[in-house]
Structure 1
């Protein structure tokens, strides 16, 4: 007698969070049952240089046990796998990869890399969850989840400490569920118990290609701010992603931030170089005589003036940014839109 095929459920849950995420994750997992019939994978953006106590914090909240997995660890239901600091957490069929690959949107671990790898390995069995955070991390990854027949869940931006990540996901992705944080645990419990209805197969990633995009894209005529390699521009569902051949990836917003920081570093390096040149010129002038001494004095003055000009641009630009942020955060006056 033929054995009935096992009914597949949505037993792979991937969660991405950034600013405000520790509190959101703590609330979420505290209401999940210990024996949740799904494995949960979490990327929370944290400082890479310091150890993370997030697994211990989440485990104390009473839900499924949380761990920092090791490379090659087997996936089991009822467990929360938290990305270790400065490492990507990737999902492969039956086990996890923990690797130091190229940063995406300036982050390692990357929400998008986790979502993309899970959708490639498990297709329609995946539930992708985007929580609070700045910028647009998670949007490209959630598009991958949907493209493979998975379910897209987003925290209500009005309920998020930082609404940009969930708002971006809602803008670009055909989201299945938008819920406030207190509603998410029961929603996930229901979703992981539901049978998979999509027939779209998972796509196994090519060797060493877990961090690469779906398609190479077209030349962008811009260099990568992290490795100076050429960038290509690809698009999924109207959302555009820049990627270099090494694997660094950027949305428009994150690329603008990275390039701005690169320009600032270059300008501060120019200030240092000009001041060092002026110091050398000053020493040479002290040894010189006649017309040469005068010319060296003029050269030193020009170098110091150039250094002061660039420093003033940098400092005034920072002051203006702080002023703009303060004005943007200030409450609107009565009768005026915020």
Structure 2
């Protein structure tokens, strides 16, 4: 088992101020490597290393693929690449997205849990939805420790709340208290036991392989669960469904992964997109029928022209309905639905 302690950190919306606070308070002799995934846009260079480097004594950078991990170094996932752990080095991969994200917090956390087990501390910070929850669960089950930002301290508390709901979290702290806690933990590293059963270990191995970019179907992804009646929003492949603790999860045979909440979010977004596609088709038919009706008029076919104009009126009524559907569609998540039910 590798001896270098690892601190793996996941954040999304509202995460940058917390990361700055955390890194500003870590000591120069911090004895662990720190790996960070923050959800960033895929099409633009990330300025996160520039933002974080210099706020504290530890150097921050995007690692090179295959770069060795060193204590007291901070490695930040670059855009559109998973950052994963491989023995004593990191790997940057283009494995399938998870929860529509690459880099994925879960991918980093699982890879660290798989190889480093009790030498890992997983940290979930501010963010929306629930990326990181499954990975934090894997860290705990493999003997590592789980730290979560206090929901009251987080700008966006969905990720901390979901982690607290599904994982036996060891510590819940505010941003300003996180660095002293992590410093104490990595110096002690009590080391827990691997509590995963054979099926959990098999699932973890498959999912780490998927994040590496290995062929999901050949790895046995379809054996992770039962076939569902749902399709992947990313590639439209069939999804298998399974439970991990209290988390409902899905994988397609090409490897894309979703929690139930993130899948609901993607499906409701797709509903809006499809409504606008339908509206486009209807409006294009209106444009074409108008031109055909005018052509009938020009050649003296008034009966044909009136037929087109009548059809235009009927289709026009349908476009109003579809437009209202498109504009009224709401992107949902599991947490949003539950919160509104409690408010009612």
Question: Would the aligned equivalents of 2:150 and 2:172 in 1 still touch at CA under 8 Å?
Answer: yes
Question: Would the aligned equivalents of 2:4 and 2:33 in 1 still touch at CA under 8 Å?
Answer: no
> 1:313 offset after TM fit, Å?
2.7
Number of equivalent positions: 319
Separation (CA, whole Å) in 2 of partners of 1:277 and 1:239: 45
> 1:304 offset after TM fit, Å?
2.1
* Distance change in 2, residues 1:135/1:185 (3 Å): same
Matching residue of 1:250? 258
Which runs of 5 or more residues in structure 2 are unaligned?
Answer: none
Question: Would the aligned equivalents of 1:10 and 1:192 in 2 still touch at CA under 8 Å?
Answer: no
Report matched runs for 1:69-80 at 5 Å. 69-80=63-74
Secondary structure in 2 matching 1:159: coil
Secondary structure in 1 matching 2:211: coil
Matching residue of 1:3? none
> 1:62 offset after TM fit, Å?
1.8
Matching residue of 2:43? 49
Separation (CA, whole Å) in 2 of partners of 1:8 and 1:94: 7
Find the partner of 1:93 among 87, 90, 101.
Answer: 87
1:296 is the counterpart of 2:308:
yes
Matching residue of 2:210? 209
> 1:208 offset after TM fit, Å?
4.2
> 1:8 offset after TM fit, Å?
7.1
Separation (CA, whole Å) in 2 of partners of 1:90 and 1:172: 23
> 1:106 offset after TM fit, Å?
1.6
Separation (CA, whole Å) in 1 of partners of 2:222 and 2:120: 17
1:227 is the counterpart of 2:235:
yes
> 1:165 offset after TM fit, Å?
0.6
> 1:181 offset after TM fit, Å?
1.2
Q: Residue by residue, what CA displacement relative to the aligned partner does 1:263-318 show, whole Å, maximum 9, x if unpaired?
A: 11111011111111111111111222142222111122222221222112323456
Matching residue of 2:282? 274
Matching residue of 1:190? 184
Matching residue of 1:314? 326
> 1:9 offset after TM fit, Å?
5.8
Matching residue of 1:151? 145
The list of structure 1 runs, each at least 4 consecutive aligned residues, that deviate by more than 4 angstroms after superposition, is 7-10, 201-208, 211-215
Which runs of 5 or more residues in structure 1 are unaligned?
Answer: 1-6, 330-336
Question: Would the aligned equivalents of 2:210 and 2:255 in 1 still touch at CA under 8 Å?
Answer: no
Matching residue of 1:332? none
> 1:196 offset after TM fit, Å?
4.2
Structure with more of its chain in helix, by fraction: 2
Using structure 1 for the length normalisation, give the TM-score: 0.87
1:139 is the counterpart of 2:133:
yes
Matching residue of 2:248? 240
Question: Would the aligned equivalents of 2:37 and 2:104 in 1 still touch at CA under 8 Å?
Answer: yes
